[in-house]
């Protein structure tokens, strides 16, 4: 936890200067931010060998996790937690690599459908063993029970954002 010590020291100083500053919530939010950066950096390192970055990987995995490997851009943006402008840029990059394809929706020709290509499916098959190893390594310090508890708490935390309206 020593890498978080400077942040804790800054929070303590902030509290001395402004006693009403909520230390507990601030620690949680900053821990999540630190974790996000490390997860993102680890993933980028692992994915570099496959010619991908973490946001591109996330889009591919959102498509891979659907029954027909296809989503509308707005569905993909929501699933991946990306803004529409990022989805356009990322999907352009993945189309250029031949990993996804764009097509008009059969149900509504005005809508676009993004689908994994055979090359995209093949790449996912190649990278999943490395990603599985990375995920195991990132959570190695926690028991299965602790992981389940953290999952429950993080979902509760996320649900609080959803309920804010």
The string of pLDDT tens digits covering residues 75-117 is 999 999 999 889 999 999 999 999 999 998 787 777 899 999 9
Q: Residue by residue, what is the 3-state secondary structure of 89-152?
A: HHHHHHHHCCCEEEEECCCCCCCEEEEECHHHHHHHHHHHHHHHHHHHHHCCCCCHHHHHHHHH
Query: Where are the chain's structural domains?
Result: 1-48, 49-163
CATH number of 49-163: 1.10.10.10
Contact 14, 24 (CB under 8 A): no
* Coil, strand or helix at 71: strand
pLDDT given for residue 71 in this prediction: 95
CB 68 within 8 A of CB 100: no
Instruction: Name the band, by pLDDT with cuts 50, 70 and 90, for residue 2.
Output: low
pLDDT at residue 162, as a whole number = 82
Is pLDDT above 90 for 57?
A: yes
Which residues are within 8 A (CB) of 105 and not within 5 positions of it... i.e. 6 or more apart? 72, 111, 112, 113
pTM of the full predicted structure?
A: 0.88
Asked whether the predicted pLDDT for residue 53 surpasses 80, the reply is: yes
> Would the pLDDT of 1 be above 60?
no
Q: Tokens at residue 88, please? A: 């356009």
């Amino acid at each position: 936890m020593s890498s978080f010590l400077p942040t804790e020291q800054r929070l303590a100083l902030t509290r001395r200067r402004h006693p009403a500053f909520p230390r507990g919530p601030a620690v949680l939010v900053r821990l999540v931010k630190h974790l996000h950066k490390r997860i993102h950096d680890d993933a980028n390192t692992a994915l570099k060998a496959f010619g991908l970055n973490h946001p591109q990987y996330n889009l591919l995995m959102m498509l891979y996790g659907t029954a027909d490997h296809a989503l509308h851009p707005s569905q993909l943006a929501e699933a991946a937690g990306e803004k529409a402008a990022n989805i356009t840029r990322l999907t352009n990059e993945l189309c250029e690599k031949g990993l996804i394809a764009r097509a008009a929706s059969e149900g509504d020709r005005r809508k676009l459908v993004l689908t994994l290509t055979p090359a995209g499916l093949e790449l996912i098959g190649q990278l999943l063993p490395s990603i599985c190893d990375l995920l195991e390594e990132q959570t190695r310090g926690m028991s299965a029970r602790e992981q389940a508890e953290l999952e429950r708490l993080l979902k509760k935390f996320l649900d609080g954002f959803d309920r804010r309206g």
